[in-house]
């Protein structure tokens, strides 16, 4: 079975500071990893993904994430946070070796960026 | 290109009734997935359809069902509604070769 853990329900950072939202995963095969963001009363928006290749992937709005196979982690990062980054962030994993098409999401992390 | 659309956006039903939700994917996307989002359970996978066939199914009771039409539009049906079915139901579509999903705004279902 595949699973995702987001160990922090809430992350608070000051505007201009770097931010990290943590994600660890478990799959039996090769992981395909994703980050999504959800603004209030809206659906999820795709931010970035890791399928293969470079461990550091860059996505929308200046976000990036680093795939670490040994630590089974895929942490979301941004060098300088903006107030507008405040939202709910979800990490997701898909294992196409054993479970094509099924995405498993973490419970989400609420990011609050204070001015 | 138009995004994923879901109708209706809000719905209020009473226990025991049934409901049908609709999802129109992005043009060209053949895969449609459904999720239930609640504060307590997070995002739970319901099922995925690809080319009118159910390709994957989550751990939900048989009261939850779905289908996909030849134009890739999808519907999900919940019969004999329970209070616990109150949730935001999200639909997502994707190209089968790129893996990331594009979500609609959701249908907020309230069961009273």
- What confidence score (pLDDT) does residue B4 get? 96
Cβ separation A101–B90 shorter than 8 A: no
Cβ separation B43–A105 shorter than 8 A: yes
| pLDDT at residue B37 tops 70 | yes
Residues of B in contact with A90 (CB under 8 A): 43
Beta-strand ranges (E) seen in chain A are 3-5, 10-14, 19-21, 24-26, 31-38, 44-50, 56-58, 64-68, 73-78, 87-95, 104-105, 109-114
Q: Which two tokens stand for residue B109?
A: 């279902």
Which among A34, A42, A105 has CB closest to B42? A105
- The predicted model gives A32-48 an average pLDDT of 91
**To the nearest whole number, what is the mean pLDDT of chain B?**
93
Count Cβ atoms below 10 Å from residue B78 Cβ, excluding itself.
Answer: 25
Taking the CA of residue B16 and the nearest CA in chain A, the distance in Å comes to: 27
| pLDDT at residue B82 tops 80 | yes
* Backbone phi and psi for residue B87, each to the nearest 5 degrees, phi listed first: -175, 175
pLDDT tens, residue by residue, A53-92: 899 999 999 999 999 999 999 999 999 999 999 999 999 9
Strand partners, A91: A35
| pLDDT at residue A101 tops 70 | no
Q: Closest Cα to residue B34, out of B1, B70, B78, B3?
A: B78
| pLDDT at residue A20 tops 70 | yes
- The predicted model gives A18-30 an average pLDDT of 93
**To the nearest whole number, what is the mean pLDDT of chain A?**
92
Q: Closest Cα to residue B36, out of B16, B66, B15, B13?
A: B66
- What confidence score (pLDDT) does residue A97 get? 67
- The predicted model gives B41-65 an average pLDDT of 92
* Minimum mean pLDDT range among A39-43, A48-52, B18-22: A39-43
| pLDDT at residue A51 tops 80 | yes
Q: pLDDT over 90 for what percent of chain B?
A: 84
Secondary structure class of B90 (helix, strand, coil): strand
| pLDDT at residue A99 tops 60 | no
Residues of B in contact with A94 (CB under 8 A): 99
| pLDDT at residue B66 tops 60 | yes
- The secondary structure of residue A17, as a DSSP letter, is S
- The predicted model gives B60-70 an average pLDDT of 97
Taking the CA of residue B79 and the nearest CA in chain A, the distance in Å comes to: 23
**Higher-scoring residue by pLDDT: B23, B94:** B23
- What confidence score (pLDDT) does residue A13 get? 98
Cβ separation A103–B33 shorter than 8 A: yes
**Higher-scoring residue by pLDDT: A51, A95:** A51
- What confidence score (pLDDT) does residue B5 get? 96
Q: Closest Cα to residue A26, out of A92, A72, A91, A76?
A: A72
Taking the CA of residue A14 and the nearest CA in chain B, the distance in Å comes to: 26
- What confidence score (pLDDT) does residue B42 get? 85
- What confidence score (pLDDT) does residue A102 get? 77
CA distance A101 to B61: 20
């Amino acid at each position: 079975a595949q699973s995702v853990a987001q160990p922090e329900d809430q992350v608070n950072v000051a505007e201009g500071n770097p931010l990290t939202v943590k994600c660890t995963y478990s799959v039996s095969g090769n992981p395909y990893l994703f980050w999504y963001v959800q603004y209030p009363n809206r659906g999820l928006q795709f931010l970035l993904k890791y399928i293969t290749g470079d461990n550091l992937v860059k996505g929308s709005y200046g976000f990036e994430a680093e795939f670490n196979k040994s630590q089974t982690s895929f942490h979301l990062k941004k060098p300088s946070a903006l107030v507008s980054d405040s939202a709910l962030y979800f990490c997701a994993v898909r294992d196409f070796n054993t479970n094509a098409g099924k995405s498993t999401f973490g419970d989400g992390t609420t990011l609050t960026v204070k001015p | 290109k138009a995004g994923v659309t879901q109708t209706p956006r809000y719905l209020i039903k009473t226990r025991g009734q049934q409901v049908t939700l609709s999802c129109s994917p992005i043009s060209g996307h053949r895969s449609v997935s459904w999720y239930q989002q609640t504060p307590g359970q997070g995002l739970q996978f319901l099922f995925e359809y690809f080319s009118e066939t159910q390709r994957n199914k989550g751990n939900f009771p048989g009261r939850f069902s779905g289908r996909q039409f030849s134009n890739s539009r999808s519907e999900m049906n919940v019969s004999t509604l329970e209070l616990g079915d109150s949730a935001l139901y999200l639909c997502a579509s994707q190209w089968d070769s790129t893996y990331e999903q594009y979500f609609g705004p959701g249908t907020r279902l309230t069961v009273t």
